[in-house]
C-alpha cells in the first residue's frame, strides 16, 4: 500500500472520531507548546545574554586582582582593601606587555558619595557604585544615549546607568539627560571630618544599560581624586609650619636681642621640619598610593587567547578572571534550566503519548472487523501495522503543527511582556524570544515520532489479529 494511500486512510479514519481525535491532538498540542516555548525561551535568552556580553567585549575581557581565586563577578567590584597584592601602574605596565593583550586599564570602584544631583533633583547613592577607568576602549557599555567616556570628555564626563536615569525621571527620554550637570556630594564619614571636600561636578555624556547594576562611570583620574584627601597629619603639619613661621618671627625678634647665631640655628631647624612635613603630605595624599587600585581590566585581542593571558597573569602572582567564564557559567545555567523546562515539556508529551496509545487501542477494537476485511483483500500484517502507525503519526504531526503555530502566538505575547521589561532596564533589544524554524521542525518531528511510537503497540496488536476471528467480530 502506498504511503499516500495510508496517509489518506489515516486522515479519514481520524475524521470519523472527531471528538476523540480533537482531544488527543489537544493533549499533544499542550506538550508541543510546552516544549517549543520553553526551549525557545531558554535558547533565545541564552543567545541574547551571550550576544549582549559579546557586544561589550566581555568574552575577551580579563580582570586582574590582587587577590587570587575570585571569579569574574566577584572581581568586577573589588576595591583596594590592602588584603591582596597591590595593583598599581607598574602592574598595569607588566600586564600591557603580555602577549595578545589589546588594551588594559586600572579600575577603581567606590562608594564615597551619599547623594547625587541633577537639575534640582537630589537622589541617594545608597547601592549606587562609582567606577573609574581609563577610556581606552577596554571597558565598553551598551549605550542607550550619548557616547562612551573618551579623552575628549575633559575628565569630568559621566556615564549614568539607565535605572538611575529612570529614577531621575528620564525613562524613555534618556537623550535629554545628555549634557546635564551632575554633582556628587561626599559622605560625611569619608575623609577627615575637619577637611570636608566640596561637591564634585561633572557632565552626563552617556546613558548605559543597567545590566551591570546601578553605576556611574567616570574617568580614572577623576575617580582617583574622589578618593584623595589631604592627610590629617598634613593639616597638622601645615599648622606646624604656620607655628614655625610665627616662631621664626618671634625668634627673629628675640634674636635681635640675643644674637644672630642662635637665630640662624633655629631657622635651619624650622626649615628642615617644614620640608619634612611637605614630603609627608605628598606621600599620603591618596589612599590609592598606599593601597593601590581595585583591579586592572584587560581586553584580549581574540577569545581563543584569553586562557593564555589568564595563565600569564596568574604566573605574575595575581588573581585573574575571564568574562568568558561568566558567559560560560551563565550558558551552563541556562542549559540546565532548559533541560529542566524541556523535561517538564517532555512529561506533557509523555502524557499526550499515553493519550495516543489509548486512542489507537480504541481504534483497533472498533475497527477489528475492518482489519479482518483488509486482511481478506490482501493487506499484509506490515500494511496493517503501518496504517495504524501512520494514523498515530498523523495525530502527532497535527498536534505538533498546531502546537508550533500556538507557540508562535505565545512568543509574540511573551515578547510584548519582555520588551516592556527590557525597555525598563534600558536595553534596546526587542523580541528576544524567537522560535527558530529548526526548533519548530524538530518539535513537529518529535511529536510525529512520539505519535508513531505510541501507535506502535496498538498497531502491532491490530496486525497480529487473526483475520478469521476479526471477520467474525461483531
Partner 1 sequence: MSFVQCSGLKKTYSVGGEEVKALDDVSLNIEHGDFIAICGPSGSGKSTLANVIGGLDQPDQGSVMVDGIDLANAKDSILSEYRNKKIGFVFQSFNLQAHETTLENVIAPLTVAGVGKKQERRERGMKALERVGLSDRAKHKPTQLSGGQRQRVAIARALVNDPQLIIADEPTGNLDSSRGADVITELKRLNAEGITLIIITHDASVAAQATRIIEIKDGKIVERAGTK
- Point out which residues bind partner 1 (CB under 8 A): 1-2, 5, 12, 16, 369-370, 372-383, 467-468, 471
Residue 386 Cβ vs partner 1, minimum distance, rounded to whole Å: 11
Helix axes 232-258, 260-284, angle to 10 degrees: 170
How are beta strands 215-219 and 129-133 bridged, if at all? parallel
Residue 411 · residue 38 · CB < 8 Å: no
Closest CA to 10 of 247, 21, 19: 21
The nearer residue to partner 1, 62 or 363, going by C-beta atoms, is: 363
The nearer residue to partner 1, 69 or 378, going by C-beta atoms, is: 378
The nearer residue to partner 1, 4 or 198, going by C-beta atoms, is: 4
Cα gap 340→26, rounded to integer Å: 23
Residue 429 Cβ vs partner 1, minimum distance, rounded to whole Å: 52
Helix (H, G, I), strand (E, B) or coil at 81: coil
Cell digits of residue 363: 481504534
The nearer residue to partner 1, 365 or 468, going by C-beta atoms, is: 468
The alpha carbon torsion through 12, 17, 19, 23 (nearest 10 deg) reads -80
Residue 12 Cβ vs partner 1, minimum distance, rounded to whole Å: 7
- Bridge partners (DSSP) listed for residue 116: 123, 184
Taking every pair of Cα atoms in the chain, the longest distance, rounded to a whole number of angstroms, is 146
* Cβ atoms < 10 Å from Cβ of 178: 16
The nearer residue to partner 1, 16 or 73, going by C-beta atoms, is: 16
Cell digits of residue 14: 481520524
Residue 28 Cβ vs partner 1, minimum distance, rounded to whole Å: 24
Residue 7 Cβ vs partner 1, minimum distance, rounded to whole Å: 12
The nearer residue to partner 1, 152 or 464, going by C-beta atoms, is: 464
The nearer residue to partner 1, 193 or 378, going by C-beta atoms, is: 378
Cα gap 132→223, rounded to integer Å: 5
Residue 107 · residue 131 · CB < 8 Å: yes
The nearer residue to partner 1, 197 or 381, going by C-beta atoms, is: 381
SS (H, E, C) 5-70: HHHHHHHHHHHHCHHHHHHHHHHHHHHHHHHHHHHHHHHHHHHHHHHHHHHCCHHHEEEEECCCCC
| Residue 436, φ and ψ in degrees, nearest 5 | -75, 150
DSSP state for residue 228 in the 8-state scheme: B
Residue 366 Cβ vs partner 1, minimum distance, rounded to whole Å: 12
**What separation in angstroms does the CA of 167 have from each of 127, 158, 164, 181, 185?**
13, 16, 5, 16, 17
Residue 397 Cβ vs partner 1, minimum distance, rounded to whole Å: 22
Residue 354 Cβ vs partner 1, minimum distance, rounded to whole Å: 27
The nearer residue to partner 1, 12 or 314, going by C-beta atoms, is: 12
The nearer residue to partner 1, 141 or 367, going by C-beta atoms, is: 367
Residue 9 Cβ vs partner 1, minimum distance, rounded to whole Å: 8
Residue 1 Cβ vs partner 1, minimum distance, rounded to whole Å: 5
Closest CA to 205 of 239, 243, 177: 177
Residue 23 Cβ vs partner 1, minimum distance, rounded to whole Å: 20
Question: Counting runs of H as helices and runs of E as strands, what totals does the chain give?
Answer: 15, 12
Cα gap 107→218, rounded to integer Å: 10
The nearer residue to partner 1, 255 or 359, going by C-beta atoms, is: 359
The nearer residue to partner 1, 9 or 305, going by C-beta atoms, is: 9
Question: From start to end of 175-307, where are the E strands?
Answer: 181-186, 200-208, 215-219, 295-300
Residue 389 Cβ vs partner 1, minimum distance, rounded to whole Å: 16
Amino acid at each position: 500500500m502506498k504511503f499516500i494511500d495510508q496517509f489518506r486512510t489515516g486522515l479519514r479514519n481520524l475524521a470519523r472520531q472527531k471528538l476523540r481525535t480533537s482531544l488527543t491532538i489537544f493533549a499533544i498540542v499542550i506538550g508541543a507548546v510546552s516544549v517549543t516555548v520553553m526551549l525557545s525561551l531558554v535558547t533565545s535568552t541564552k543567545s541574547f545574554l551571550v550576544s549582549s556580553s559579546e557586544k561589550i567585549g566581555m568574552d575577551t575581557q580579563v580582570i586582574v586582582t590582587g587577590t587570587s581565586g575570585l571569579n569574574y563577578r566577584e572581581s568586577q567590584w573589588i576595591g583596594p582593601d590592602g588584603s591582596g597584592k597591590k595593583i598599581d601602574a607598574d602592574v598595569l605596565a607588566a600586564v600591557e606587555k603580555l602577549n595578545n593583550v589589546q588594551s588594559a586599564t586600572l579600575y577603581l570602584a567606590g562608594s564615597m558619595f551619599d547623594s547625587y544631583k541633577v537639575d534640582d533633583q537630589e537622589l541617594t547613592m545608597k547601592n549606587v557604585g562609582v567606577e573609574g577607568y581609563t577610556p581606552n576602549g577596554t571597558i565598553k557599555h551598551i549605550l542607550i544615549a550619548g557616547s562612551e567616556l573618551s579623552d575628549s570628555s575633559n575628565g569630568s564626563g559621566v556615564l549614568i546607568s539607565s535605572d538611575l536615569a529612570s529614577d531621575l525621571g528620564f525613562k524613555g527620554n534618556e537623550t535629554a539627560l545628555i549634557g546635564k550637570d551632575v554633582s556628587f556630594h561626599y559622605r560625611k564619614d569619608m575623609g577627615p571630618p575637619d577637611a570636608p571636600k566640596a561637591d564634585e561636578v561633572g557632565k552626563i555624556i552617556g546613558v548605559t544599560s543597567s545590566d551591570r547594576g546601578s553605576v556611574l562611570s567616570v574617568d580614572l583620574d577623576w575617580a582617583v581624586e574622589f578618593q584623595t584627601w589631604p592627610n590629617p597629619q598634613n593639616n597638622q603639619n601645615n599648622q606646624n609650619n604656620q607655628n614655625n613661621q610665627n616662631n621664626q618671627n618671634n625668634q627673629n625678634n628675640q634674636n635681635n636681642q640675643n644674637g644672630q647665631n642662635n637665630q640662624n640655628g633655629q631657622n635651619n631647624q624650622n626649615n628642615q621640619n617644614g620640608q619634612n612635613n611637605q614630603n609627608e603630605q605628598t606621600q599620603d595624599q591618596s589612599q590609592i598610593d598606599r593601597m593601590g587600585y581595585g583591579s586592572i581590566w584587560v581586553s584580549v585581542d581574540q577569545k581563543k587567547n584569553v586562557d593564555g593571558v589568564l595563565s600569564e597573569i596568574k604566573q605574575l602572582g595575581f588573581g585573574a578572571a575571564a568574562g568568558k567564564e561568566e558567559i560560560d557559567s551563565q550558558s551552563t545555567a541556562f542549559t540546565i534550566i532548559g533541560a529542566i523546562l524541556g523535561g517538564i515539556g517532555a512529561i506533557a508529551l509523555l502524557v499526550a503519548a499515553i493519550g495516543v496509545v489509548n486512542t489507537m487501542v480504541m481504534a483497533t477494537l472498533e475497527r477489528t472487523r475492518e482489519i479482518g476485511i483488509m486482511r481478506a483483500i490482501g493487506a499484509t500484517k506490515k500494511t496493517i501495522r503501518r496504517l495504524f502507525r501512520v494514523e498515530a503519526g498523523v495525530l502527532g504531526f497535527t498536534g505538533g503543527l498546531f502546537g508550533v503555530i500556538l507557540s508562535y502566538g505565545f512568543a509574540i505575547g511573551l515578547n510584548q511582556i519582555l520588551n516592556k521589561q527590557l525597555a525598563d532596564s534600558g536595553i534596546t533589544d526587542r523580541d528576544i524570544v524567537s522560535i527558530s524554524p529548526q526548533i519548530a521542525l524538530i518539535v513537529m518531528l518529535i511529536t510525529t515520532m512520539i505519535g508513531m511510537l505510541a501507535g506502535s503497540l496498538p498497531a502491532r496488536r491490530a496486525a497480529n489479529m487473526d483475520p478469521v476471528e476479526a471477520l467474525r467480530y461483531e
